[in-house]
Amino acid sequence: MTLRNIAIIAHVDHGKTTLVDELLKQSGSYRENQRVAERVMDSNDLEKERGITILAKATSVVWNGVRINIVDTPGHADFGGEVERILNMVDGAIVLVDAAEGPMPQTKFVVGKALKVGLKPIVAINKVDRHDARIHEVVDEVFDLFANLDATDEQLDFPILYGSGRSGWMALNPEGPMDQGMAPLFDLVMRHVPEPTVEEGAPFKMIGTLLEANPFLGRMITGRITSGTVRPNQSVKVLAQDGTLVEQGRVSKILAFRGIERQPIELGEAGDIIAIAGLTKGTVADTFCDLSVTEALPAQPIDPPTVTMSFIVNDSPLAGTEGDKVTSRVIRDRLLREAEGNVALKIEESPDKDSFFVSGRGELQLAVLIETMRREGFEIAVSRPRVVFKKDEATGDLLEPIEEVVIDVDEEFASVVVQKMSERRADMIEMRPSGGNRQRLVFYAPTRGLIGYQSELLTDTRGTAIMNRLFHEYAPHKGDIAGRRNGVLIANESGEAVAYALWNLEDRGPMMIEPGWKVYQGMIIGEHNRENDLEVNVLKGKKLSNVRSSGKDEAVRLTPPIQMTLDRALSWIEDNELVEVTPKSIRLRKTYLDPNERKRFEKSRAIEVGAA
């Protein structure tokens, strides 16, 4: 059977996964009476909850006797490592662009990578039925984007389709016809995407692209066979990028993607995307090959991580009360296992073995890892995200990561966004109307200035702004950036919070806990109205006497506390604070729980700053 391998790439929320749903449905991959969930490719719980694709996944459909392997990729810049590897597996790409939003930062990122590896993309303008669609302007913007990314003349001559993934149609014109469904897209893939190029007569070779742990088959590696064939029980070896031998073993099972299911097959042929099981050490970017092969296949270089966090063994007084995985050994094994399958993550162990430095593409990528570990029963304390600095080899200057930030906002709020971004050392490079009384603001901003800005942006714009970020370059350090302006309220004793005490403290600032919650010395229970930190007693109840008051005691009415989600907590804390994450709770605390230790640390830090 002839083959086509394509990836669907686009910015977050432009409709990739919904389009794949329709392609599966219209190609006959489902039985007539089969019940199928919406966005079937988003199989992970966190993907369903957040409405975003986190892990790249493969599927396949058969159209007019041709098997089309389709890879659904993440649209968020933090998971760009997945996209970079996927492009090695495919021969073509469908670039999906929203008819109203146009090409966004992540579109630029993935299209740039696709053009670099020589793919000839198909452009699909999606959501043409939106009331604010601006189809012709978006097509011009896509052409300008390709030109700016140094596309070849052949790549610039890209075919265009228009349609709506949700309504299930694509056509050569924005007006339709709509009754042909996805047939025009399938036919265009057949004509425009070449068959996989394979080395005729060469032995089996495949580069690992995706890694997963299967409860029944163990480690499974997905990739595209570059040359040769592979069968179950065949002896193979694994070569690292430098050609050194990683391991030698037998393939226990070969699985191929057939619709949304994976089915065992007896023969994997060159050009097909398969998953193999039975090898215990081979990982992503390694070459899986016949015993006669001596050279590894070249792999695409991955962009470096820009944000790092400390994962620390939880040492609070409540440690071990809500989770069962609390020791440094268990946390270390879990982090190393994650780094194996996610090449955009980097794990370093601290000298004291009680904490780990985890570096990734952005706060969202690390927050998803923390949330996944939390659901698996882990208890950890994590620090505020910090950026990864570099030194300029020529001049010795300190370099920091700069991001391209695109903010779509209502015109009335544009000025406050520009002011806040300038306070964060951002340079505005473009400001233009984006339709519907909205402005599109484009900035180059240091990554450290953007940590924690998302929630503040939504507050400033009454929830109407949309911010998209993308790593741009390393540039000279931009200078100091002011952090959080308010101090915190810190519990000075351990016990259970009392409603009367919280009610008396409401004048000091908004609370983050409720009556009956367990607290401990050094735990943050609220935000102070002033700049300094304040230790308070939340255990103090009302004094009772045997003298009845003439008026009836009024019931205590408390203001609802601030709900601290994991994402918000990570961006809110300062450098001397931690987020304690357990399967049941998210608590904020000071790094040093004892007030005397805290004072000593603050004094030593003030001396260091003065000396610097």
In the annotated binding site, the residues are: 13-18, 126-129
Distance between CA atoms of residues 8 and 86, nearest Å: 10
Helix (H, G, I), strand (E, B) or coil at 340: helix
- How far is the C-alpha of 141 from the C-alpha of 309, rounded, in Å? 37
CA–CA distance, 253 with 243 (Å, rounded to integer):
25
CB 56 within 8 A of CB 113: no
Does the N-terminal peptide bond of residue 433 adopt cis geometry, omega within 30 degrees of 0? no
344, amino acid identity: A
DSSP 243-288: S-EEEEEE--EEEEEEBTEEEE-S-EETT-EEEEE--SS--TTPEE
Phi and psi, residue 528, nearest 5°: -80, 145
Distance (Å, whole) CA 236 – CA 222: 15
**What phi and psi, each to the nearest 5 degrees, are found at residue 233?**
70, 5
How many other C-beta atoms lie within 10 A of the C-beta of residue 510? Answer: 15
Which residue, chain included where needed, has tokens 């002839």? 2
Torsion of CA 274, 275, 276, 281, to 10 degrees: 130
DSSP letters spanning 36-99: --TTTT--SHHHHHHTS--S-EEEEEEETTEEEEEEE---SGGGHHHHHHHTTT-SEEEEEEET
Angle at 8 between CA 6 and CA 11, to 5 degrees: 155
Query: Residue 161: phi, psi to the nearest 5?
Result: -120, 155
Taking the C-alpha atoms of residue 144 and residue 108, their distance in angstroms, rounded to an integer, is 11
Work out whether the CA dihedral 19, 20, 23, 29 comes out positive or negative: negative
Q: Which helix (H) or strand (E) holds 142?
A: helix 135-148
**Residue 86 structure tokens:** 């996927």
Which residues does the annotation place in the binding site for GTP?
13-18, 126-129
- Compute and round to an integer the Cα radius of gyration of the chain: 27
The DSSP H or E segment spanning 368 is helix 363-375
| Strand 495-496 with 169-171, pairing | unpaired
